[in-house]
Chains A and B, each alone.
Chain A
Amino acid sequence: MASSTETPANPASGSAASAGAPTGRVRGVSGNMVTVAFDGRVRMNEVAFVALQTAEGVNARLKAEVIRIRNGECDMQVFEDTRDIRVGTPVEFTGEMLSIELGPGLLSMTYDGLGNPLDQLAVQCGYFLQRGVYLPTLDRSKRWAFSPVARIGQRLQAGNAIGTVPEAVFQHRIMVPFGLVGTAKLIEIAPPGDYTVDHVVAKLEMPDGEVRPVTMVQSWPVKRPISCYKERLLPTAPLTTRTRIVDAFFPVAEGGTACVPGPFGSGKTVFQQSVSRFAEADIVIVAACGERAGEVVETLREFPELIDPRTGRPLMERTIIICNTSSMPVAAREASVYTAVTLAEYYRQMGLRALLLADSTSRWAQALREMSGRLEEIPGEEAFPAYLGSLIAAFYERAGLVRVEDPNLGQARGSVTTIGTVSPAGGNFEEPVTQSTLAVVGCFLGLTYARSYAKRFPAISPTDSWSKYIERMRPALEKNYFAGWVDAIKRMQGIYLAGQRVGDQMKVVGEDDLSLPDFVRYLGSEFLDAVFMQQNAFSEVDASPSNARTALLLQLTMAVIDQDFGFRSKDQARETFTELTAAFRDWNLAAEGTDDYATLLTKIQSRLGSGGGRGRAAFATA
């Protein structure tokens, strides 16, 4: 860059007293990147504000993050529209890394990628977002019923509970700040009572005698994992999503990771929304990263109305939405996935099961690419930066099942399960984001055009997808469904594949040249697909079947496939399977306990031999 020879306005010579917040002046602007000449000490990923005045005389302080320091100047990504910035515009550094506030009151909120509450922004600014307006993440006026947990004199470490406050259906732990190094002595603790988050609820004495006040809110740099747990554990239990094809064939582990790539129009969003509603997690964090605003809106408007059957409370109470949609500033999009995973880790630290849905990690990767381009870095494949793979790996590694140990509250298991969607360019899974992601996740749920074209939803490919967790979770899965479940699933997978091979053959040789047993095999495979793998996400009943119902459905499906109907012609076989498919599909839509449910089940069982009875027995015992 030609500019490297230019002399910064303030050469870093007089930096002796650099402890105070340094200041700088803008030297260049290109898109959302500004180059700043600074005086004093500047830190990587430090937050700074560009203090500009618009042509109309309006003052605005635009938040920015230092992403490169070079030749005595730093490059910053600005989290806002950069118009009106001039060369010479002052910049105020904060010395703090990009952080998010953690504390009670996060649940059921909607934030932008930087943790600004969008509802409050709307109250202040109206319909449109306004640049340079930042609001505190947590409500300052709300009071929380604090109950002390720790005792005076106790030696505490980062992440240990000082007290709890009730939030939604949980006991939200107020913890020793995660950044505390070593052990500190509790010398003061507030009595039970209602306090705001800023109230000092405890005082800690450090070994050097320094006294640190602790409030209910702490700040944590989003790009650093929270790791105050005792140990990381191997995930052995499934995180039930209520999407049958996933739970049965490609289960996701609690504390595991999954990647959902799919071309546009393959139903990624519907799948995502279904998981956010029905997944068996305590906390669901939806990171709408660079996607359509419209998708978030459904969650936003519907979740407060929907009741979570397991808690009897609105679904919104277990949900946090990080919403940095595609038209919002791209640098904040980059930050949004980190903000989201930090929130998930925060709740994991309390012994809760957090599920992070990141939609879409490709948009995040594109934000990285945009910045990399502005920095004029040497591009890697498809112009993505060379460090893309390691950033993706580090992001997914923040998921995990952990054991937390608390001197007063005992042991607990907490988890962060990350399901990231990927939007591969051109639907081509060979592209860098998909490939870097597949290298680090435990479960691959590939959505395909072929299935969505044929309206087979969810369009998760039964042939391409995989889960590395299934063997490891065998005992847990058999407990959830029935003994022999995993083997049954594997047998069904074999039957599916064999039938599909016949189908492929049929495309080449035609139906006539196919033997009747082969044809029946094909029909069986299609039947399995139609009644078990496909699922109607828009039906209240079919969208979230219970484990018992899924077990029964599999038993009945197997009974159909295993039954010898004694067909004499292909048309007869086709008719039988068509009829059974219709009956099963109707039954899938019928709520348990209704007349329809019983009638259709009887109808199905009447078509089956002993298999149907087996199914009923399994249902009774499940």
Chain B
Amino acid sequence: MRKVYTRIDQIVGPVVTLRADGVRYGELARIRLQDGNSTYAQVIKLRGEEVSLQVFAGSKGVSTGDEVEFLGRQVQLAFSPDNLLGRTFSGVGEPIDGRPALQGATDIDIGGPSFNPARRIIPHRMIQTGIPMIDMFNSLVKSQKLPIFSVAGEPYNELLARIALQAEADVIILGGMGLKYDDYLFFRAQLAPSKERTILFVHTAADPVVECMMVPDMALAAAERYATAGKDVLVLLTDMTAFADAMKEVAVAMEQIPANRGYPGDLYSQLASRYEKAVDIEGSGSITLLAVTTMPGDDVTHPVPDNTGYITEGQFYLKGGVIDPFGSLSRLKQLVNGKTRDDHAPLMNAMIRLYDAARKVRQQQSMGFSVSAFDQRLLGYASEFEQRMMDLNVNLNLTQQLDLGWEILANHFTEAQTTMPGKLLVKYWPKRAQAA
């Protein structure tokens, strides 16, 4: 019934072009290779009779005489709420864990339309992670989308895995893009204890580049299904820079005019349409999104982190093995940290202000200047703060974190030096002899 085309006119990068008619934009096609294998491809441009397809497995080995069959449907994910959990899939949604295909699955569209902004609610549920630099200083909120900015050497996957284990969520969906095979094995091992709530979509660095582009859509399409069914879903993506680079590769193959450092002009919109899937649905579930974005050359003005920063609700900066308190920001924190304890926000601000002052003193000290008595206090405070709060291995609940904050302040400053509101000082300042 379906027409089969046997002549491919052009093969450039992962994009093949042929003549065909009646083809839908975005339609899925199957290409039968000479060696008997077949691969899928998606329509990305129509021009008269000319149809351009991006080949998921890449164009290696595709010949001009391969059979192309258009399937009359869009790219879909086989979804089954119970049987997806604990499984591992490729970027195009095929099981790669050696277990059989899904039973009783229905095909669902991916990359679906936007959530109606008028139906969104103000995020209000905090997710505790046990990490002070998150919970106390930059609280994570359900439905929030946050990138983890870092450079290649930082332990971002370790941090992601830790959050996956410690954070409160019903379903964890991990989307790996351009993962080193070691990292893939690491995640599999780390997340094994919570396997029954975890789904993996994995594209490794050795896999075809187009599959990399599909990972976020697959992961988020599944997440949407769970969220509308009342589940709180945490989606972890790593690494979005690999995703953007994959887009760049395809755009260049399509001869699109690059906008900035070779990336296509729609980079912002492409990233945004994924990140904006994060949502808290009234009376139902939620999607929270954490995405590692590596910054080539530690450059936050690189187009990928830069565009990401404008889309997301803040960012975690992973620097020198810790979450940097100056660069990190959770824009939604004030929606929840006013409801935790009355000292939460002012204490957080005071501690950061003093840490910033200490940082400046350190700079001056490194230039050989002598330091004043007050500067000495700042320096002492800074090192205690770093040891007892910033270290990523610290695992405390929020109350413990706040109490620790007051204790550290009192170890180094007088009440007035903190410039905290008088009322809070009366209520929380540790009642004991002042430290020298």
Taking beta carbons and an 8 Å cutoff, which residues of A are in contact with B? 2-3, 6, 26-31, 35, 55, 81-88, 110, 118-119, 121-122, 125-131, 263-265, 269, 288, 290-294, 296-298, 300-302, 323, 325-328, 330, 360, 363, 366-367, 369-370, 372-373, 376, 379, 382-383, 423, 425-428, 453-455, 507, 509-512, 538, 570-571, 574-575, 578-579, 581-582, 585-586, 589
Contacts and interface: CB of A to CB of B under 8 A. Distances in A.
Contacts of B27: 55, 84
Contacts of A578: 416-417, 419
B434 interface: no
B206 interface: no
Contacts of B72: 55
A204 B80 CA distance: 63
A280 B417 CA distance: 38
B373 A28 contact: no
Given A265-B329, A383-B260, A85 B25 contact: yes
Nearest to A511: B372
A296 B115 CA distance: 13
A294 B264 CA distance: 26
Contacts of A131: 113
B276 A325 contact: yes
A25 B413 CA distance: 75
Interface in B104-135: 112-123
B370 interface: yes
B48 A30 contact: no
Contacts of B26: 82-84
Contact of B356 (A127, A128, A296, A454): A454
Given A128-B116, A571-B372, A579 B416 contact: yes
B197 interface: no
Contact of A87 (B48, B112, B118, B275): B48
Interface in B341-387: 345, 349, 352-353, 356, 360, 363-364, 367, 369-370, 372-374
Nearest to A269: B331
A574 B73 contact: no
Contacts of A571: 372-374
B269 A330 contact: yes
Given A3-B48, A122-B116, A376-B257, A327 B422 contact: no
Interface-centre pick from B277, B302, B315, B419 (highest chain A CB count, 10 A): B419
Contacts of B421: 586, 589
B334 interface: yes
Given A3-B47, A28-B48, A455 B353 contact: yes
Contacts, number: 229
A292 B311 contact: yes
Nearest to A507: B364
B6 interface: no
A302 B46 CA distance: 45
A518 to B, nearest CB: 15
Interface string B243-271: 00000000000001111100011101100
Given A127-B115, A128-B114, A269-B331, 15 more contacts: A26-B46, A30-B47, A84-B27, A87-B49, A122-B118, A127-B228, A129-B115, A265-B329, A298-B122, A330-B266, A382-B259, A382-B260, A383-B260, A427-B306, A453-B327
A589 B346 CA distance: 13
Nearest to A6: B48
Contacts of B314: 265
B313 interface: yes
Given A325-B117, A383-B265, A293 B276 contact: yes
B247 to A, nearest CB: 12
Nearest to A296: B117
B338 to A, nearest CB: 8
Nearest to B302: A426
B162 interface: no
B181 interface: no
Given A31-B266, A370-B266, A512-B370, A84 B259 contact: no
Q: What are the 9 tightest A-B residue pairs by CB atom distance, in nearest-first order?
A: A426-B301, A326-B272, A83-B26, A510-B369, A327-B276, A118-B118, A264-B309, A383-B259, A28-B47
A360 B310 CA distance: 10
A87 B266 CA distance: 24
A279 B373 CA distance: 45
A585 B349 CA distance: 14
Given A85-B25, A538-B334, A453 B356 contact: yes
A88 B21 CA distance: 9
Interface of B: 21-27, 45-49, 72-74, 112-123, 143, 228, 256-260, 264-266, 268-269, 272-273, 275-277, 281, 300-303, 306-307, 309-311, 313-315, 326-327, 329, 331-332, 334, 338, 345, 349, 352-353, 356, 360, 363-364, 367, 369-370, 372-374, 416-417, 419, 421-422
Contacts of B327: 453
Nearest to B281: A127
B47 A293 contact: no
B116 A84 contact: no
Contacts of B300: 426
Interface-centre pick from B45, B115, B117 (highest chain A CB count, 10 A): B117
Given A55-B72, A454-B356, A27 B48 contact: yes
22 contacts: A28-B47, A29-B25, A35-B47, A82-B25, A84-B24, A121-B116, A122-B116, A122-B119, A302-B122, A326-B275, A360-B310, A363-B268, A366-B269, A379-B259, A383-B259, A425-B307, A426-B300, A455-B352, A510-B367, A510-B369, A512-B370, A578-B419
Contacts of A119: 118
B122 A510 contact: no
B356 A425 contact: no
Contacts of A125: 116
Contacts of B372: 511, 570-571
A301 B121 contact: yes
Contacts of A507: 360, 363-364
A84 B315 CA distance: 36
A360 B309 CA distance: 14
A360 B276 CA distance: 16
B47 A582 contact: no
Contacts of B352: 455
A174 B106 CA distance: 54
B116 A327 contact: no
Nearest to B364: A510
B310 A264 contact: yes
A35 B143 CA distance: 38
Contacts of B119: 122, 127
A449 B83 CA distance: 47
B415 to A, nearest CB: 10
Contacts of B416: 575, 578-579, 582
Contacts of B259: 369, 373, 379, 382-383
